[in-house]
Amino acid sequence: MELSVAIIARDEERHIGACMASVAGLADEVLVLLDARTTDRTAAIAAAHGATVIRAPWRGFPAQRNQALALSRGPWVLFLDADERVTPELAAAIRAVLRSPAPPCHGYWIPRRNLFFGQPLRGGGWYPDHQLRLLHRDAAHYDERRHVHEYPRLDGPAGTLHGHLVHLNIERLDELWIKQSRYALAEARILAEEGRRARWRNFLGAPAREFWRRYVSLGGWRDGALGLFLCLTMAWFEVVKFAFLRALAPPAPRA
């Protein structure tokens, strides 16, 4: 069976070439759905590696992924981010699915190894970080109302593959700050749409719970000083999220 690899990208000239190299010999088609706001050489680099590049207005990750599913030719689609790499072990597992005359599942979860500042993490919820990325095109759809941490709905069962995606998650401190600020704003917008309002207790309780969850319950302590720093950072951005929510949905006036 044919495999399409779909990459949603914007200003990814630093990563796109190595991402495509990791699926060389695996993909029958590579589709790069490029955010129309891109200003760097992502399109030229992707085209030089044999990708079909389509510029599209940005409508959010779920909508872009649905568009990529519609545009892909293969019955199976592997979604990658430009800063992700397919390991040889994962490529072998995907080939085994494609060789099967009747794969038992309509989608497959893939364990992902996150690297922060070049260090692979073991705890804090960053490993194994399963991602539902290998999809039968006709059985998958993304809910376009979900603005962040989107995942597909499948018309059938999902399995789990061996082998890993490697995610070059964060390489610079400013990148961490910008990325988490965007997530915090997106999550605040979801809460505002649900009618939630920020309460003062959220500014203490939410970060405390997030730190405990990541550092203690999910074992962030296993990653030493970096794990402590990242868990504290995630806790801080709970404060940022509720600050955004307070701006988006001010507290109701007192009677």
Q: Please tell me the predicted confidence (pLDDT) of residue 78.
A: 98
Compute how many other C-beta atoms are within 10 angstroms of the C-beta atom of residue 18: 14
* Confidence tier at 148 by pLDDT (50, 70, 90): confident
Residue 23, amino acid: V
User: Quick one: tokens of 237?
Assistant: 């951005």
Of 3.30.9.10, 3.90.550.10, 3.40.50.920, 3.40.50.2300, which CATH number belongs to 3-169? 3.90.550.10
In whole angstroms, what is the distance from residue 174 CA to residue 124 CA?
A: 20
pLDDT: which is higher, 234 or 146: 234
Domain extent listing, the chain: 3-169, 172-248
pLDDT at 131 over 90: yes
Judged against a pLDDT cut of 90, whether residue 253 lies above it is answered with no
Q: Quick check: 101 pLDDT over 90?
A: no
- 39 CB contacts (<8 Å, ≥6 apart)? 11
pLDDT in tens, 173-228: 999 999 999 999 999 998 998 999 999 999 999 999 999 999 999 999 999 999 99
36 burial (CB, 10 Å; 0-12 / 13-18 / 19+) is: exposed
Determine the Cα angle at 143 with ends 138 and 147, to 5°. 140
Mean pLDDT, residues 87-102: 94
Start-end of H helices in 11-113: 16-21, 42-48, 61-71, 88-99
Q: Is the pLDDT of residue 5 over 90?
A: yes
